[in-house]
Amino acid sequence: MKVAIVMFDGVQALDVAGPLDVFAEANTMLPEHQKYKVSLVGLRAGTVTCSNGMGLSVPFGYADLDTQWDLILVAGGPQLPDDHQSTDFLTWLQNQAKGATRFGSVCNGAFVLAHAGLLDGKEVTTHWANADRLAREFPQARVQPDKIFVRDGRLFTSAGVTAGIDLCLSLVAEDWGHELAVHVAKRLVVYIQREGGQSQYSPYVGSGKEEDPVIRKVHRYVTEHITDALSIEQLAGAVAVSRRTFSRLFAKYAKVTPSVFVEQVRVDSARKLLEDTDAPLKTVAFKCGFRSATHMRTTFSRRLDVTPKQYRQRFRGEAGKESWAGNSAGKQVSFQGLGGLSAGVGA
């Protein structure tokens, strides 16, 4: 199977190395005629400088070979590759996608596909930090911001950085079965299928600078009164605006309803306590305004697709690890189906 990984200057090294290593490990178990034949393809042959300063040798420019690739993946990087959209390149990408068995992107490589018109009418994802921009600039794409990876027909798109590994493991499983994909996951010491979506990796609501001072005040008020049963009238009164004005400002700047905003602040407060303390789940729930530990669990499962206990196991800091030593809840999470291997991965 002929695979092309398309890359540009400023590419995230792991967007390239992750897929490369998945296919390389799979090749160790495949006969010669079934191996993945992976090529790095750039705008031109030469050296591509990654965002971390590492140089990668790219033997081919996209126009150098008269090859129809079976699988083509466009890698992304910290800087959106918006300055690489020459007409010739986009035409080449369109033609390759038409003839490929599968095509897709890692991280914000999705923007390159979008510029080529390959995301129109498709369900897609990208790095959580760029999902809103992708949806805004390419409204015909149906962006799923919380997915680790998404398949829509022949199109595969993934979230940021290590999510390219998740994506390629799914491709190996599709090609050669679950057992081989599990073998590759064991060798790379990663999840065969990680739990939860991108929301568990994204920053807290209050970590950025909200555009409107009213929203900033609301965030501060909710944080200070997090255990209260907060109503829209109470929030509007706290910032001295009418309910109508309050609703309009929220629709414009927060882009969620006040009740959703309050719930997100509660989830974020609980995330912080779960990361930094060994407080029992009931205590965390009470301190963050949930009706009960069960209510907090239900909210976490709906919003993050993981339970509070799973979140704590995955993200608890060193202090929490020490205080939970010897407690079964503080043990490292084992990978189901990976023979007891355990390790952590990011998005």
Q: Which sequence positions are flagged as catalytic?
A: 107
What's 50's DSSP letter?
P
Q: Where are the alpha helices (DSSP H) in the chain?
A: 13-27, 87-99, 110-115, 131-137, 163-176, 178-188, 213-224, 232-238, 243-249, 258-276, 281-287, 293-303, 308-315, 318-323
Question: Which pLDDT tens digit goes with each residue over 27-40?
Answer: 999 999 999 999 99
Tell me, what's the pLDDT at 327? 36
Tell me the CA end-to-end span of the chain in Å, nearest whole number. Answer: 27
**pLDDT string in tens for the chain (347-residue length):** 999 999 999 999 999 999 999 999 999 999 999 999 999 999 999 999 999 999 999 999 999 988 999 999 999 998 765 655 789 999 999 999 999 999 999 999 999 999 999 999 999 999 988 988 999 999 999 998 878 889 999 999 998 888 899 899 999 999 998 889 888 988 988 776 666 556 555 555 554 444 568 788 888 899 999 999 999 999 999 888 899 888 888 888 877 888 988 998 999 899 889 988 999 999 999 999 999 999 999 999 888 888 999 888 877 754 444 333 333 333 333 333 333 333 333 34
SS3 73: strand
Q: Which residues contact 10 (CB under 8 A, 6 or more apart)?
A: 49, 50, 51, 77, 78, 79, 81
> For residue 61, what are its two tokens?
């420019």
Instruction: State how beta strands 2-6 and 71-74 pair.
Output: parallel
Question: Which pLDDT tens digit goes with each residue over 64-79?
Answer: 988 999 999 999 998 7
Distance CA 48, CA 17 (A): 13
SS3 161: coil
Q: What CATH number matches the domain at 2-193, 2.40.10.170, 3.40.50.700, 3.40.50.880, 3.40.50.720? A: 3.40.50.880
Residue whose tokens read 């690489």? 84
Distance CA 103, CA 308 (A): 36
Tell me, what's the pLDDT at 326? 33
Number of residues in the chain: 347
- Domain ranges for the chain: 2-193, 206-316
Q: What CATH number matches the domain at 206-316, 3.40.50.620, 1.25.40.10, 1.10.10.60, 1.10.3720.10? A: 1.10.10.60
| Residue 48 backbone class (left: φ over 0; alpha: ψ -120 to 50; beta: rest) | beta
SS3 322: helix
Counts for the chain of helices (H) and strands (E), in that order: 14, 11
Distance CA 109, CA 53 (A): 19
